[in-house]
């Protein structure tokens, strides 16, 4: 149902029809989740964490993906790597090729070989990087273009490397707010694929938090995505943009009330999943979700 905003004209404008596309994801059960070190502003080791609660919240996300008809593969959690639940950082995959991460911080470095082994076993052409990158945390596929974040984790050279690996245009974006240290905390890809809907082209689109980027990056986003949803800092600061979309259903934090309304106005179906315990580690819905494209 279209919700009319206060600024809209009296004439009702119907929201476009949205289509859910089948997705395949990789997740990791947070059996070892805790916060024992600090590598982002959200992590405070002095705050107690509840592993059982983290697992229960994660399970609701896993179950929802299955309920929506998506496939979910699992990678075995490794003891001593509590952040492995954030599988989005475990790689970037397109057309059966997997670009493995090279983590900036030593605390996560041991995850990379485990993800590489999983990709190889799943039949992916697995590429070991030379440059520091943190997978789909900083690389987002929007249509045929790769949006690439830098400023805190992945380096600029990784943007060149990922472009060479996949043979696609890479658009570099500079993150400036340490709360939003990965691109997937500041941009949500709403239409994962481009296709044809209702006789016309379906344009890949995004939602983003303007304040997370420098002026030059904001100008790029405004030019490339004039129809993007601009999300408030209030919604961004509860990881509202760290969400997963299949083109119709958008899974978001229940705290992102304004973003929920914006999505409904555009014809999307927002579904709320609370990952408050995993937010203590600086991760949300998208962080726990790595999209598997190609190979099986």
Domain spanning 24-291 has what CATH number?
Answer: 3.75.10.10
Higher-confidence position of 248 and 46: 248
* 21 tagged catalytic: no
- pLDDT at residue 194, rounded to an integer: 55
The residue written with tokens 């690389």 in the block is 139
Q: Where does the pLDDT of residue 23 fall: very low under 50, low under 70, confident under 90, or very high at 90 and above?
A: very high
User: CB of 34 within 8 A of CB of 52?
Assistant: no
- pLDDT at residue 120, rounded to an integer: 98
Q: What is the pLDDT of residues 93-149, one digit of tens each?
A: 999 999 999 988 677 888 999 999 999 999 999 999 999 999 999 999 999 999 999
Catalytic residue among 28, 159, 182, 288: 182
Q: Where does the pLDDT of residue 193 fall: very low under 50, low under 70, confident under 90, or very high at 90 and above?
A: low
Catalytic residue among 28, 70, 287, 288: 287
Sequence ranges of the domains in the chain? 24-291
Cα Rg of the chain (Å, integer)? 18
Task: Please say whether the dihedral angle defined by the alpha carbons of residues 50, 72, 261 and 217, taken in this order, is positive or negative.
Answer: positive
Beta bridge partners of 245: 250
| pTM assigned to the model | 0.90
- pLDDT at residue 40, rounded to an integer: 62
Pick from 5-9, 161-165, 279-283 the range whose average pLDDT is largest: 161-165
* 287 tagged catalytic: yes
Q: What is the pLDDT of residues 226-268, one digit of tens each?
A: 999 999 999 999 999 999 999 999 999 999 999 999 999 999 9
- What percent of the chain stands above pLDDT 70? 89
């Amino acid at each position: 149902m279209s919700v009319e905003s206060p600024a809209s004209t009296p004439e009702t404008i119907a929201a476009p029809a949205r289509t859910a596309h089948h997705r395949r994801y990789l997740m990791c059960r947070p059996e070892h989740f805790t916060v024992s070190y600090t590598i982002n502003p959200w992590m405070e080791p002095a705050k107690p964490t509840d592993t059982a609660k983290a697992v229960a919240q994660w399970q609701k996300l896993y179950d929802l993906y299955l309920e929506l008809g998506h496939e979910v593969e699992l990678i075995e959690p490794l003891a001593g790597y509590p952040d492995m639940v954030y599988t989005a950082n475990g790689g970037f995959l397109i057309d059966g090729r997997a670009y493995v991460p090279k983590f900036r911080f030593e605390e996560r470095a041991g995850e990379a070989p485990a993800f590489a082994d999983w990709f190889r076993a799943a039949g992916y052409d697995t590429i070991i990087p030379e440059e520091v990158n943190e997978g789909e945390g900083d690389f987002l596929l929007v249509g045929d273009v790769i949006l690439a974040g830098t400023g805190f984790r992945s380096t600029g050279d990784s943007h060149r490397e990922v472009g060479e690996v996949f043979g696609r245009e890479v658009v570099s974006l500079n993150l400036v707010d340490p709360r939003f240290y990965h691109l997937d905390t500041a941009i949500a890809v709403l239409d994962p694929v481009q296709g044809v809907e209702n006789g016309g082209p379906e344009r890949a689109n995004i939602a983003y938090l303007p304040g997370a980027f420098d002026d030059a990056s904001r100008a790029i986003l405004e030019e490339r995505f004039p129809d993007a949803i601009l999300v408030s800092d209030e919604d961004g600061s509860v990881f509202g943009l760290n969400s997963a979309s299949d083109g119709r259903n958008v899974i978001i934090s229940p705290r992102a009330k304004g973003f929920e309304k914006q999505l409904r106005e555009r014809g999307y179906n927002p579904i709320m999943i609370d990952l408050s315990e995993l937010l203590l580690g600086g991760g949300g819905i998208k962080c726990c979700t790595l999209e598997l494209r190609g190979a099986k």
